[in-house]
Structure 1
């Protein structure tokens, strides 16, 4: 399953074992003990575990002591509140990934849509709201950046008033989202500079940016002020964040913490293993530096 279709260290045997060992620990070992340091504010995208009913998934997060979930909308927030789970990244506005702020013909509709959802996000007690650039469709990147900035600036006063932060997601255009415009950190950072508001940040998806540009830790160190949220997944394949893939997530998480980041890091991998929740537990432990 891909998200576009869905849309429409810790204790391992003893408390002294650090998360880098969790990366190599057998899954059945992780069943015995699960204790998080929570230096990282953990979250997870439910769409990756979509066959698990949301309410069952929230019960599991309560059992794990994970207090947030990503990519939920107003229709789901009441059940999140029932289980005291925070919505760390909201959706509920826009036309999806391929049609976004780079198209001026959509601005009137997008502005009206976001003007409706921003107060709802704030009223529910949440902060982050996702948005997308849209596909290029032959448009020059500089023109698209200018169009995005012009449209988004029109809703910044409302976002600032309500303390809501719009977060444009960085996605790869090589494998998963062909032709998507906001596909490099450099382009997204220039957009942040053009908008010049603390109510606009980038959702830095580590998986996507590893595919597009690599150099993840240096990019985070040099540009963290523009990144308001992080997503994880293994490269290649978008699967578990363990030793089966090329990224070393404990080092990435330490780099994020060193910037003073206090936002959320959400697991967004597609588990390959039969026990999906144990894969999720392992992912949390690996990132729990």
Structure 2
């Protein structure tokens, strides 16, 4: 497994490019969110390996799909400049606070069909440029109420329905623990469709070892399945970034007791 760290939530007292440098120097790949506010030339100059980034700027899987596709293609060009292989998607455009720009508290059958067709177009876009789009699950109970297709079961169903190698899951285990639980069984079910895994502990969204999720057991299950992809830490540091990174590395490199 490769380990990555989200620069949006670590070393937050530093300028963004310096955060990337610190994460890279610690031996991790780097995840970023939106590219719109970033100095891409400065990020490229760091020489870091970028794991994933936001794959769209606006729009939704079920409305303003053309806007979503236009901004997805813009995002692809930035990803190619950074050498970033995965572009992250959600069911709809999110505000800075994580809430949907246009909430959808009820998802109709027509919305499911539209979402699948939009994802088919995104998968073909990814194939054209040699990148992968990954659809992330979110929780609607705590952080993202009103986001359509929030549960991992929903994102898995959509990815399965599209059935294209350039569309995979960004399986966020923090979100899934809040929304669904039964994480190891979820990983087994989703395994053929995994593009990347994101982690944080529940309930504080800090690094592994600070909450209720047994991440060493999850790491053991991933090794048993033969997972050789990326696990990304998308979490706050509970008591210092260096400690958080060490706990994250230990959770996924040491054998479970």
* Offset from partner CA, 1:206-236 (integer Å, 9 cap, x none): 1000011111011111221122111111111
Q: Does 1:132 align with 2:94?
A: no
Query: What is the aligned-residue RMSD (CA, Å)?
Result: 2.1
Q: Does 1:157 align with 2:124?
A: yes
Pairing partner for 1:279 from 210, 219, 244:
244
**Using the alignment, how far apart are the partners of 1:208 and 1:41 within structure 2?**
21
Residue in 1 that maps onto 2:219: 253
Residue in 2 that maps onto 1:263: 229
Q: Give the TM-score taking structure 1 as reference length.
A: 0.76
Residue in 1 that maps onto 2:97: none
In structure 2, relative to structure 1, the CA distance for the partners of 1:173 and 1:249 (3 Å cut) is same
**Using the alignment, how far apart are the partners of 1:224 and 1:147 within structure 2?**
25
For structure 1, the 5+ residue unaligned runs are: 1-39
1:283 is displaced (CA, Å) by 1.9
* Offset from partner CA, 1:145-177 (integer Å, 9 cap, x none): 211112222232221121211111101000000
**Using the alignment, how far apart are the partners of 1:159 and 1:140 within structure 2?**
26
Residue in 2 that maps onto 1:235: 202
**Using the alignment, how far apart are the partners of 1:92 and 1:156 within structure 2?**
12
Q: Which has the higher contact order (CA 8 A, sep 6+)?
A: 1
Aligned 8 A contact 1:71 1:87 in 2: no
Aligned 8 A contact 2:134 2:170 in 1: yes
Residue in 1 that maps onto 2:80: 122
* Offset from partner CA, 1:42-99 (integer Å, 9 cap, x none): 111111123332233233224322233343627444333323211111225232xxx5
Aligned 8 A contact 1:167 1:200 in 2: yes
Q: Which structure has the greater CA radius of gyration? A: 1
**Using the alignment, how far apart are the partners of 1:262 and 1:57 within structure 2?**
26
Q: Give the TM-score taking structure 2 as reference length.
A: 0.85
